[in-house]
Amino acid sequence: MSPFRLTLPKGLLRSLTFFTLIPQIALGFDIQGSNNVALYWGQNSAQLSPQPPLKSYCDRPDVDVIILSFISLLYSNEKIPILNQATPQCTQIPGSLGGQVTCPELAQEIEYCRGKGKKILVSLGGATAGYEIQSPAEAAAAAKQVWDTYLGGGQGGMAIRPFGEVEVDGVDLDLETPAGQEGTYWPIFIDTIRSLYQSEVGRNGKKDYLVTASPQCVYPDVILSPALRDKRSWFDMLFIQFYNNLCAPTNPSAFNFNEWAEWARSSSQNPSIKLFIGAPASPGAAPSGGFTPLESLLAVASDSMEDCENARVFWNGDALSTNSSNPYNPFGGIAFWDASWTTPEYTAATKLGLTSSWEKAKAWNQIFKREEPVDDGKAESAADRKVKSRGTLARGRGRSRISRRRHVIRRLHRHRR
């Protein structure tokens, strides 16, 4: 199969000509930033031969997070995590339980990437079954095994570690089976591994591990819904799959980033959680649909950033709500499935587009704050006036399920696996 190659729009190509000449663009992962670029790596869905090594993606200055995909099996009652990747860098250990692998070359590349400031996560899950947990004991066992196998545990030969002494920066949950069933025990997994993060010192004193997830865009994601509402479940980032579902940007009336942003502001255990738009990097990466050309995807991202910024400034709610004195904006960036479909030019254009879009959103914010309220006895916000100016386009969307007393800007946007 010959992989689909994207041709960037001329406007983006012209912008890239000046990319290296813009010193104000901050490169590198910033968990508080809104222009991070994340890639899933390891499954090689474009079927490149050979799959480009992890190091080649870490050499791109515009890539911030790489998610190793996947721990596809939790083996036996001990819930031993088995890594399954389409790479010759990992080989099965003869006679190992469940197909455990060793990846010394990949371990060196992980160290190389972390040395360049990238965050490297390992993702548990994927589209195939084999990693389900059926009890609190299994959830706790799986968390301890992941900690010992890929993170800071397993000292003294307590576990077979594919990357040896090298550890990744955290675990991602890409939970897709059993489809349609709530993952009742995943909050216990999250709480257990978070407790290990906080109570155990990892190798070289490391303690800043992450917990992330990759839910389907339909809110709430069914499998993750117990964790989304459980106050023990602390997520640092969500890479929301806005594809293979009706809520993809290709279906503007159903695109629901704002619904997830509302959850982040009002219900997330982590008050600073970051949300990414998860997107396929080509039509071939999303056989069930949802691919959005990059120029349109960046327009969607710009709208989402602006909506989040407007909500930050104008939303008045309870004690947990955001307001003009709180700099929190839940938008974190874009995550692509998967790395094999991307080119250096593609990720560079994404970083540039996200950075310029965020600057645009901040500029809009400055304009709004300078405007004076209308003199009609009520303080009408600039955001309210902006909504009115959209006329029938905004009114035609119907009523949101979110209370309108919260001035969250909701618009008709122009625009996974």
**Angstrom distance (rounded) from CA 271 to CA 258:** 16
pLDDT at 171 (0 to 100): 98
pLDDT at 309 (0 to 100): 85
pLDDT at 204 (0 to 100): 67
Q: Containing domain of residue 271, as a range?
A: 26-395
pLDDT tens-place string over residues 221-237: 999 999 999 988 999 99
Q: Are 161 and 149 in contact (CB under 8 A)?
A: yes
- Residue 171 within any structural domain of the chain: yes
- Residue 128 within any structural domain of the chain: yes
* Residue carrying the six token digits 């407007």: 310
pLDDT at 78 (0 to 100): 95
Low-confidence ranges of the chain (pLDDT < 70): 1-27, 204-206, 313-326, 364-417
- Residue 400 within any structural domain of the chain: no
**Angstrom distance (rounded) from CA 227 to CA 63:** 28
404 Cβ contact partners less than 8 Å away, ≥ 6 residues apart: none
In 3D space, the residue among 273, 175, 172, 191 whose CA is nearest the CA of residue 233 turns out to be 191
- Residue 404 within any structural domain of the chain: no
pLDDT at 75 (0 to 100): 98
Query: Nearest 5 degrees, angle CA 416-CA 43-CA 330?
Result: 45
CATH number of residue 263's parent domain: 3.20.20.80
pLDDT at 158 (0 to 100): 84
| Number of separate domains in the chain | 1
- Residue 368 within any structural domain of the chain: yes
pLDDT at 11 (0 to 100): 54
pLDDT at 12 (0 to 100): 54
- Residue 403 within any structural domain of the chain: no
Q: Are 80 and 149 in contact (CB under 8 A)?
A: yes
- Residue 105 within any structural domain of the chain: yes
- Residue 21 within any structural domain of the chain: no
**Angstrom distance (rounded) from CA 79 to CA 185:** 14
In 3D space, the residue among 37, 146, 67 whose CA is nearest the CA of residue 417 turns out to be 67
